[in-house]
Amino acid sequence: MAPSRRTLIRSALAGSALAALPDLALSPAPAAAASPPGDVVGKVTVGYQGWFTCPGDGAPIGGWWHWSRDRFQSPSPANTTIVSWPDMREYDRGYATAYPNRGDGRPATLFSSYDQQTVDTHFRWMREHGCDTAALQRFNPFGDEGPTRDAMAAKVRSAAERFGRTFYVMYDVTGWTAMQSQLKEDWATRMSAHTASPAYARQNGRPVVCVWGFGFADDGRPFAPAACLDVVRWLRAQGCYVIGGVPTYWRQGINDSRPGFGDVYRAFDMLSPWMVGRTGTLDGLDWFHDNVNVPDLADCAAHGIDYQPCVMPGDLSAGHRRHGDFYWRHLYNMVRLGAQGLYVSMFDEFNEGNQIAKTSETGATTPAGVGIRTLDEDGTACSADYYLRITADGGRMLKGQLALTATRPTPPVVGGGQPPAGDLAAGRPATASSQQNGPYGAGNVVDGDRGSYWESANGAFPQWWQVDLGASHPVTRLVLALPPGWESRTQTLSVQGSVDGTDFATLTGPTGVRFDPATGNEATVTFSATSVRHLRVRFTANTGWPAGQLARLSAYAG
């Protein structure tokens, strides 16, 4: 089988390590771009595979697609394609494998991307952590995986529409013999229909499509420059904004890149050079910044092409992550460079170990004795959502909402698992008028984790959330918070108090409370000292979502 992205060899590095990088006091100035902000320029895009299936999930391809080498046999240590293990707590359905039980004695189960709830969960995580756009990977759809790929496109469209994200089709031409004619056919007769969705990504008013793989120096992509140029020009003639997923050394035609593709590269609207597997060290990232990325951006600017570099969290299985420092350095380097957008590789790539989706934290939630690295692999405890939270902070830095800094601002565990000092509500019993289906219960607001939250039933106001402080206290101040990576919104709310849980008095009348990621998505509400045991927050509107939402409420007396 021809090598794919997942098997490309590392390129040799040259040059010496850079000196320590200083923090900068000011947010970066927006980079000069060929295009104005849109769904890819100025945004964080994540690569989305959506290619895991399991027996019994209804997927046309059948079997353990991408979980095991032989998809008709259950995945096990001897029959696997993955090097990382997903955190399974938020999936409605898990499928039993032939792996040993987890460290806590429970069966080792895996999710199916074919379950709509899985895709919805992933896109909810994207919404919560500032992932603006998903690049849906699409390999040759004229083989046996075609019907499953078609169905996944519909599932991704549905999730993107529901959770306010955008998506676009990203063709991977690896091993696609009749690519030149069939890619055109597939776009014209199948995929272009999705551009009717309000969630389909647009840039410069045109639907976005990406072609990944032109010009790579390997047998899996043997296409001549003329054939590649024909495809790019055809897509642009259909009115598309076309991104090229190109080799690392595309400008020079060396190492991973074949010479003679200059006209092809300059026919694209945006270039996104590949980086996975190229380095696993901080010094390596710095070398690439100086010797590859800086001249890349200059070349793109000279030819009116947008530049969307690939950023990577690091291969967990190879020990590259350095509890988040590797990913942050890559994000920092590309933002200080002035990149027009970021392409995160990947969201759900458990096969390569470079996923940002929620991942097993410890051996307790990972099959025992099989050597799969967990997020605490170097002795640093990291929450399952850690790399999503880093992505959120990196996106804020890209957009100028967070000062440019070489020092990672994202803690591996939010608040160390401890509630704010003096918080009367922490860990107390909580109730609500309703909750959205899924892990959105009232207790999430007082569990000390900003990544979990309560969400009311959608599309119906008013709604309320309530906490029992256990005894009466002279409360004067509430600090309300949403997940730190969420986009800004205003919720109209009022605060009520009670000593018996039955008769409530108004402490603050209805007012619009602003939650902004630039200020940590926190808001403070104050009122005269009032002795209450029960606190209720009543929601009547939300500009960001048709529901009441809270990730944390901290109550203070005096």
Inside any domain, residue 251: yes
Q: Whole domain around residue 550: which residue ranges? A: 417-557
| CATH code assigned at 74 | 3.20.20.80
As beta bridge partners, residue 48 has 136
**302 and 438 fall within a common domain:** no
Inside any domain, residue 4: no
Q: Is the pLDDT of residue 419 over 80?
A: no
Q: Is the pLDDT of residue 14 over 50?
A: no
**437 and 377 fall within a common domain:** no
Split at pLDDT 50, 70, 90, the class of 520 is: confident
Inside any domain, residue 404: no
- Report the C-alpha gap between 393 and 160 in whole angstroms: 21
Residue 420: burial class (beta carbons within 10 Å; 0-12, 13-18, 19+): middle
* Counted domains in the chain: 2
What is the number of other CB atoms lying within 10 angstroms of the CB of residue 428? 18
pLDDT at 25: 35
- Alpha carbon 123 to its chain centroid, in Å, reads 8
- Report the C-alpha gap between 93 and 115 in whole angstroms: 8
- Report the C-alpha gap between 494 and 503 in whole angstroms: 16
More confident: 390 or 20: 390
Tokens of 232: 């790019």
Residue type, position 208, single letter = V
Tokens of 262: 């200059």
Inside any domain, residue 336: yes
Tokens of 392: 């959120």
Q: Contact at 8 Å (CB) between 329 and 406? A: yes
The residue among 335, 366, 398 that closes a domain is 398
- Max Cα separation, the chain? 78
The residue among 398, 427, 452 that closes a domain is 398
Q: What is the DSSP letter of 441?
A: -
Percent of the chain's residues with pLDDT above 70: 93
- Report the C-alpha gap between 327 and 337 in whole angstroms: 15
**444 and 378 fall within a common domain:** no
**98 and 171 fall within a common domain:** yes
Inside any domain, residue 5: no
What is the number of H-type helices and E-type strands within the chain? 9, 20
Q: Contact at 8 Å (CB) between 287 and 261? A: no
121-162 pLDDT tens trace: 999 999 999 999 999 999 999 999 999 999 999 999 999 999
- Residue where the block lists tokens 């259950």: 74
**149 and 35 fall within a common domain:** yes
Inside any domain, residue 197: yes
**334 and 227 fall within a common domain:** yes
Q: What is the pTM of this model?
A: 0.76
Mean pLDDT of 283-304: 97
DSSP 3-state helix, strand, coil percentages of the chain (rounded to 5)?
Answer: 25, 25, 50
82-108 pLDDT tens trace: 999 999 999 999 999 999 999 999 999
Split at pLDDT 50, 70, 90, the class of 415 is: low
Inside any domain, residue 410: no
**432 and 381 fall within a common domain:** no
- Per-residue HEC secondary structure of 23-36 comes to CCCCCCCCCCCCCC
- Average pLDDT, rounded, for the chain: 92
Inside any domain, residue 538: yes
Q: What angle do CA 551, 554, 558 make, to 5 degrees?
A: 165
**229 and 263 fall within a common domain:** yes
**339 and 425 fall within a common domain:** no
164-219 pLDDT tens trace: 999 999 999 999 999 999 999 999 999 999 999 999 999 999 999 999 999 999 99
Helix (H, G, I), strand (E, B) or coil at 386: helix
The residue among 338, 366, 398 that closes a domain is 398
| CATH code assigned at 550 | 2.60.120.260
pLDDT at 28: 41
**320 and 215 fall within a common domain:** yes
- Going by C-alpha positions, the residue among 256, 331, 334 that lies closest to residue 9 is 256
**484 and 366 fall within a common domain:** no
**371 and 438 fall within a common domain:** no
- What DSSP string runs through 389-438? HHHHHHHHHHTTSS---SS----SSGGGG-PPTT-SSTT--EEES---TT
Q: Is the pLDDT of residue 344 over 50?
A: yes
